[in-house]
Structure 1
Amino acid sequence: MSSNLFSHIETALARDPDSVILETLDGTETRAEALLEAVDRMASLLASLGLKPGERLSAQVDKDAMNVVLYLACLKAGGVYLPLNSGYTDSEIEYFLSDAEPVIHVCTTSRQAGAEAIAARLGGLQVQTLDLDGGSLRAAFEAHTGRFGATVARAPSDLASFLYTSGTTGKPKGAMLTHNNLLSNAQMLTQAWDYSTEDTLLHALPLFHVHGLFVALNLALVNAAKVILLPKYEVEAVLQALPRTRVMMGVPTYYTRLLSEARFDRALTGHMRLFISGSAPLLVETSDQFFERTGQRILERYGMTETGMSCSNPLNGDRRAGSVGPALPGVQARIVSEDGAPSAAGEIGSLQVKGDHVFAGYWKLPEKTASEFTDDGFFVTGDLATLSDDGYVSIVGRGKDLIITGGLNVYPKEIEDVLNDMPGIKESAVIGVPHPDFGEGIVAVLVAEDTLDLDAVKAACRVAMAAFKLPRTWHIVDELPRNTMGKVQKNLLRERFG
């Protein structure tokens, strides 16, 4: 079989052509045979528009079944798929398009004028539109009768996609993901989570991110399992869809919002096989509340754009709140100190991973790529973590979030864990900002409940932690800034309170 990821999806779907693969909230179904036919026709259309194997197609479109068809058709035709956040501005899009050099850019009609102006400046870029109920690409697809035929063979090391990292420091970098990267990660997760065609996935995540596209969707498709595709996350829609699903993947915010609904209880969730959380740290408090409400422990896992998933709490076994579990099958994970020596159990160090799932490097940045790998081939994730005696990884924070104050290392998560357990505090973020005396000063940003006694919080902190870890400045905000996947954007907090 070709190493093209779509070849594996195609084989899985062809086993039961009549099985329902995609379903919308209103009950509209797409069966395997119809999906394969649509993908074949779209691949033929893309080829007629000029897409050749190895060339990039970028997409900034709304989430629906046609978004799935576009992605799979790009793979089938041997193209490289570049999904772009629907919230990106025209100036951000111009950077991505100039860097990635796609031959086709697909966007909504509302973004057409901006995209065409960018295309005129760049040259050699074709703009197509795709809306939920129209657009030039949809119209061309509906009129197109051509067939593509055999899926383009690709080598394991050929690119299937690349995604731009969030760019919290410097310009975003394109993380190049090969067919083998994506396939191996789907196979790891199939084994770790015992995923099968019997599963139905509630899909409320975006399709422009590694979590929604390469974890959730790929995992379901390689197993020919049904996906209930929600256009976006809405609590009411999730509550309606849950009775028809067995697996849900989400970010912590999805689960905190469900917990605010009294209807979300054991009666509604008793049939569920698995709730999975990732993309941002899950508070121990949220994990515990979820367990009390449903009798099920959320399975927390760890991954990033450059690697897909690397660690996961076990399907059967001890799912530890506050930990992302052991390394997945086929993944090597280690924690090392600043001098590169292995860290002792429980000691904070740099998390490094190795395996077939690790990306091929950063697009057009060979020196940056080389600097992110060790001499023995481990990828330096940039995350700080600890490793337990029995192999469970716990993420402490990003390396760049480490605060060095008065020459002493302070890990924000240590302070945040203390703060988040205190009455009156809904959540917290701790950052370091320039300080003339200490180098960096510690700032605590709090989201308060209805009442908060800040003096009591400060007094409790003086009891709970060493003096050098105490925040020097405190701010109360209505909410913490987050990106699309729920990660707190500490760079924005540093800009605001620095």
Structure 2
Amino acid sequence: MPNDILDCNLFSALRAAFPADLDATAIEASAPDGGWLHYSWRDLDRASARIANLLASLQLPAGSRIAVQVEKSVEALALYLATLRAGHVYLPLNTAYQQAEIEYFIGDAEPAVVVCAPANFGWVSRIAFTAGTRHVFTLGEDRSGSLLERAVHFGDEQLPVARGQGDLAAILYTSGTTGRSKGAMLTHGNLLSNALVLRDYWGWRQPQEEGGGDVLIHALPIFHVHGLFVASHGALLSGSRMIWLPRFDARVVLEQLPRATVFMGVPTLYVRLLAEPGLTREAARHMRLFISGSAPLLIETFRRWQERTGYTILERYGMSETAMLTSNPYAPDARHGGLAERRGGTVGFPLPGVGLRVVDDAGQPLAAGEVGHIQVCGPNVFAGYWRMPEKTAEEFTADGWFRTGDVGLQDAEGYVTIVGRNKDLIISGGYNVYPAEVEGALNELAGVQESAVVGVPHPDFGEVGVALVVPRPGAQPDPRAMLEELRTRLANYKLPKRCVVVPQLPRNAMGKVQKNLLREEYRQSFA
């Protein structure tokens, strides 16, 4: 997206959407003592202004990176808003990252400011100062730390720094499961365009509307696209109140459902909620929308949620490099003949303004229903990878479409289904095997809760599948019997050559199965 001379600072757009009554509650945050802290819209505005003024006092170069590894808090959200309004670039870091990982990120991004948890100041500051970072602050989830101690001495008014659509707003490092992590550069235009589309497509209700505005239960981390951008931007841009939980707790979420209208979660959170006896139609009757993403939602979870609550989960699809790309419809979609069905196993339609095509290995478009490589374009697609021009060039086609690395199909009605990642594709004896298809068949077998299929080296076939199966509570599925049953459902070349029953699958913070770890663990299976 080209830069322009108009002020397109994302913060300015978010601030303009604050309700007229700035003293109304913006966020109710769960406190450590079990009570609730109430933050008004005016509190958010003033707190972010003070931190922005602190950043301005440091006389940082324009567009400096502000690296942040702190626990979730409303003050951490204010720091994000302050970074935007000060014209700098926000760099959120997963709280699970350890010393070697932080050393890499700080060395690669060269942030001017690092903010960390008070308990980590010793080792984080050592890394930061060695890398040339001049300023290290601390911020605790209990509102402690040097950042707020310094910011309180600054004024609570600040004029947002003018930014163009093409100016960087954030850098998000990808998980790096196939190599060293890459920093996806997201601009003010990328994030604002996506937030505006989602506000309309998901029907976010504003306070002045009849029936009042939405209330979001925010139980996601804020170092990731899902919690920081999709959830937070959605609420802020519609003037909606948030019920802010420091971390997901199924029972607390259930307690808050009667006061809320929107919930966003990864599939794991929905599975945990389904395990609670208190999840009933009555408990969910005030809700408007349940949204799932960041990892595939099992069709069984989709159906069980319908049965238990009467609601159909809306599944969507996005990436760190693009924010949201597709979504099942909230309401009838006129672009697709008024279709409104939320189809389990699909991620819905490309969002308005997003181009999506499915191509073969040669880059030629495929017919509806054919499986191929997914490519996208649109105002939400990132500016490239930080300091990796060659990698950036590799990931874009000659005509400017981004290669997502995902394999899938789009049916004749426009619904998109993700089959897997290119890197997860198993080529066995010259045949392409898509793990998602095999996993789908495994998950339908008696006693199976979930599964993962990964490719490992094989002396005859080059590569074969190994199936890892998590049993249902109390079930004891037999690996040999499961493979025999699969033989009646799948072509022989798709069958895993080994099946292992495991207690659980390794997952990252967003609930995605870490297949890279499984591949490494089982790579010697046929050596």
Q: Comparing 218-227 with 315-324, which one deviates more in the overlay?
A: 218-227
Give the corresponding residue for 1:90. 99
Distance 2:456 2:481 in 1: 24
Contact 2:479 2:500 survives alignment (8 Å): no
Query: Hey, what does 1:282 align to over in structure 2?
Result: 297
| Residue of structure 1 equivalent to 2:365 | 342
Partner SS state of residue 276, structure 1: strand
CA displacement, residues 116-153 of structure 1 (integer Å, 9 cap, x when unaligned): 211232123321111123111122223x1334521000
2:5 aligned with 1:7, yes or no? no
- Structure 2 unmatched ranges of 5 or more: 1-5, 207-212, 332-339
- Of 156, 166, 182, which aligns to 1:157? 166
Given residue 483 of structure 2, which amino acid in structure 1 is its aligned partner?
K
Provide the rounded CA distance (Å) in 2 between the counterparts of 1:55 and 1:454: 54
Q: Which residue of the partner structure matches residue 293 of structure 1?
A: 308
Output the amino acid matched with 2:21. D
Q: Deviations over 1:393-432 (max 9, x none)?
A: 0000000000000000000011000000111111100010
Shift of the 53–22 alpha-carbon distance from structure 1 to 2, 3 Å rule, reads farther
Summarize the alignment of residues 205-244 of structure 1 with structure 2, pairs less than 5 Å apart.
205-244=220-259
Secondary structure of the residue aligned to 1:433 is: strand
Per mean C-alpha deviation after superposition, the further-off stretch among 75-84 and 116-125 is 116-125
1-side partners of 2:450 and 2:19: how far apart?
47
Shift, 1:14, TM fit:
5.6
Contact 1:424 1:453 in 2 (8 A): no
Q: Which residue is equivalent to 2:210?
A: none
Report if aligned partners of 1:53, 1:152 keep a CA contact under 8 Å in 2: no
Greater Cα shift, 118-127 or 427-436: 118-127
CA contact (8 A) 2:204 2:214 kept: yes
- Give the corresponding residue for 2:395: 372
Whether the aligned pair in 2 keeps the contact of 1:53 and 1:77 (CA below 8 Å) is: no
How many pairs does the alignment contain? 497
CA RMSD of aligned residues (A): 1.2
- Mapped to 2, the partners of 1:108 and 1:458 lie a distance apart of 48
SS at match of 2:282: helix
Question: Is the CA contact (8 Å cut-off) linking 1:362 and 1:368 kept in structure 2?
Answer: yes
Correspondence for 2:322: 307
Give the corresponding residue for 1:482.
Answer: 507
CA contact (8 A) 2:66 2:114 kept: yes
CA contact (8 A) 1:177 1:359 kept: yes
Q: Aligned-pair distance for 1:196?
A: 2.6
Please state whether the residue corresponding to 1:267 is helix, strand or coil. coil
Write the distance in 2 (CA, Å) between the matches of 1:173 and 1:24: 33
Counterpart for residue 407 of structure 1: 430
Letter in 1 for 2:413: D
- How far residue 456 of structure 1 moved from its aligned partner, in angstroms, is 2.5
Q: Confirm or deny that 1:55 pairs with 2:100.
A: no
Query: Do residues 491 (structure 1) and 516 (structure 2) align?
Result: yes
Instruction: Find the partner of 1:106 among 102, 111, 115.
Output: 115
Letter in 2 for 1:488: V
Query: What is the CA-CA distance between 1:349 and the residue it aligns to?
Result: 0.3
The 2-side partners of 1:211 and 1:132 are apart by 20
Secondary structure of the residue that 2:316 maps to in structure 1? strand
> How far did 1:28 drift?
2.0
Match of 1:429 among 428, 445, 452: 452
Whichever residue aligns with residue 493 of structure 1, its letter is L
How far apart are 1:99 and its partner, in Å? 0.5
User: Are 2:453 and 2:467, in contact at CA under 8 Å, matched by a contact in 1?
Assistant: yes
- Tell me the equivalent position of 1:31: 40
- Cα offset for 1:191? 1.3
**Counterpart check, 1:251 vs 2:266:** yes
What amino acid is the match of 1:224? G
**1:141 is aligned to 2:151:** yes
The answer as to 2:485 corresponding to 1:460 is: yes
CA drift of 1:369 comes to: 0.6
CA contact (8 A) 1:4 1:156 kept: yes
Which of 129, 136, 139 is the matching residue for 1:127?
136
> CA–CA distance in 1 between the matches of 2:292 and 2:239?
22
Q: Which runs of 5+ in 1 are unaligned?
A: none
Shift of 1:166: 0.5
| Aligned equivalents of 2:295, 2:309: Cα separation in 1 | 21
Determine the structure 1 residue equivalent to 2:385.
362
Asked if the contact 1:13/1:33 (under 8 Å) is kept, the reply is no
Secondary structure at the counterpart of residue 374 of structure 1: coil
CA distance in 1, matches of 2:150, 2:48: 14
Q: 3-state DSSP class of the match of 2:464?
A: strand
Alpha-carbon distance in 1 for matches of 2:463, 2:361: 20
Match of 1:76 in 2: 85
State the shift of 1:460 in Å: 0.9
Structure 1 residue 454: Cα displacement: 2.7
- Checking the alignment, whether the CA contact within 8 Å between 1:43 and 1:148 is kept in structure 2 is no
Q: Distance in 1 between matches of 2:403 and 2:485?
A: 36
**2:356/2:377 contact within 8 Å kept:** yes
**Rounded Cα–Cα distance in structure 2 between residues aligned with 1:360 and 1:103:** 21
**Is the CA contact 2:24–2:40 (under 8 Å) kept in the aligned structure 1?**
yes
Confirm whether residue 19 of structure 1 aligns to residue 24 of structure 2. yes
Post-superposition offset of 1:240: 1.7
User: What residue number does 1:324 align with?
Assistant: 347
Q: Residues 223-256 of structure 1: CA distance to partner in whole angstroms, max 9, x if unpaired?
A: 1111111000111221122111100000000000
